[in-house]
């Protein structure tokens, strides 16, 4: 069945809300980035880093996945990867929000995007696994670039950070080496404590 472009306006209006969802990382002008900016940056990174991922992927799928992966935060907000209590319920909270947001779309588009969102969440395809690598790498990189020296309000340690990013090693040894380098530099900058030096 053919649809009119007008049928998508309500959805486009709804996803404007993603621009209001504040994330943990700051930007160069001293404010906190929003979820839409985060998704945009990931979509740019994906084609540039693709050669460092071990499996072949459909890049269009990866980029669309990255552009929609956080739409659940419209209703659920951003949950830090280090918030264990929040993460225990984040999937169900975000799924409910995603279903509400996608409810503004015609049936076929709604089903396709919901399946893509779930694919990202579960990491069930090479595209999803690559997208998750980019999603995990970008905040680490941005934090190093932007955060002021000794800015560690959550008292994060190097080992805590590496544990959350460890899955990257199997997916992309090259990106993992960059993760290790950035974490070491972040420790030097005072963004994480060096638990190895305390043992």
SS (H, E, C) 80-135: CCCCHHHHHHHHHHHHHHHHHHHCCCCHHHHHHHHHHHHHHHHCCCHHHHHHHHHH
pLDDT per residue over 154-193, tens digit each?
A: 899 999 999 999 999 999 999 999 999 999 999 999 999 9
Contact 121, 91 (CB under 8 A): yes
Asked whether the predicted pLDDT for residue 22 surpasses 80, the reply is yes
Tokens of residue 158, six digits: 């190097």
DSSP-derived letter for residue 150 is T
Measured at the CA of 59, the angle between CA 56 and CA 64, to 5 degrees, comes to 140
Asked whether the predicted pLDDT for residue 15 surpasses 50, the reply is yes
Asked whether the predicted pLDDT for residue 199 surpasses 50, the reply is no
Asked whether the predicted pLDDT for residue 23 surpasses 60, the reply is yes
What is the rounded (10 degree) CA torsion for 35, 175, 131, 189? -20
pLDDT per residue over 50-60, tens digit each?
A: 999 999 999 99
pLDDT per residue over 101-142, tens digit each?
A: 999 999 999 999 999 999 999 999 999 999 999 999 999 999
* Among the ranges given (42-46, 169-173, 193-197), the one the predictor scored with the smallest mean pLDDT: 193-197
Sequence-ordered alpha helix ranges (H) in the chain: 9-15, 35-49, 59-68, 73-76, 84-102, 107-122, 126-146, 158-165, 167-171, 173-188
* Domain 17-198, CATH number (from 3.40.1310.30, 2.120.10.30, 3.30.1360.70, 1.10.3210.10): 1.10.3210.10
Q: Report the distance separating Cα 39 and Cα 62, nearest Å.
A: 12
Domain boundaries of the chain, sorted by first residue: 17-198
Tokens of residue 88, six digits: 């225990």
User: Radius of gyration (Cα) for the chain, nearest Å?
Assistant: 18
Q: Would you place residue 37 in the very low, low, confident or very high pLDDT band (cuts 50, 70, 90)?
A: very high
Phi, psi of 3 (to 5 degrees): -120, 155
pLDDT per residue over 62-89, tens digit each?
A: 999 999 999 999 998 877 777 777 677 7
């Amino acid at each position: 069945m053919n649809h009119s472009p007008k049928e998508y306006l309500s959805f486009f209006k709804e996803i404007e809300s993603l621009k209001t969802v504040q994330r943990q990382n700051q930007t160069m002008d001293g404010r906190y980035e929003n979820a839409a900016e985060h998704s945009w940056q990931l979509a740019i990174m994906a084609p540039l880093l693709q050669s460092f991922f071990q499996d072949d992927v459909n890049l269009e799928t990866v980029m669309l996945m990255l552009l929609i992966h956080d739409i659940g935060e419209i209703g659920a907000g951003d949950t830090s990867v280090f918030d264990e209590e929040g993460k225990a319920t984040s999937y169900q909270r975000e799924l409910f929000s995603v279903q509400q947001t996608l409810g503004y779309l015609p049936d076929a588009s709604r089903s396709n995007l919901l399946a893509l969102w779930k694919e990202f969440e579960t990491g069930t395809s090479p595209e999803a696994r690559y997208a998750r690598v980019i999603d995990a790498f970008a905040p680490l990189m941005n934090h190093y670039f932007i955060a002021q020296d000794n800015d560690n309000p959550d008292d994060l340690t190097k080992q805590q950070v590496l544990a959350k990013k460890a899955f990257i090693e199997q997916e992309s040894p090259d990106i993992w080496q960059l993760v290790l380098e950035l974490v070491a530099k972040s420790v030097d900058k005072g963004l994480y404590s060096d638990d190895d030096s305390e043992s």
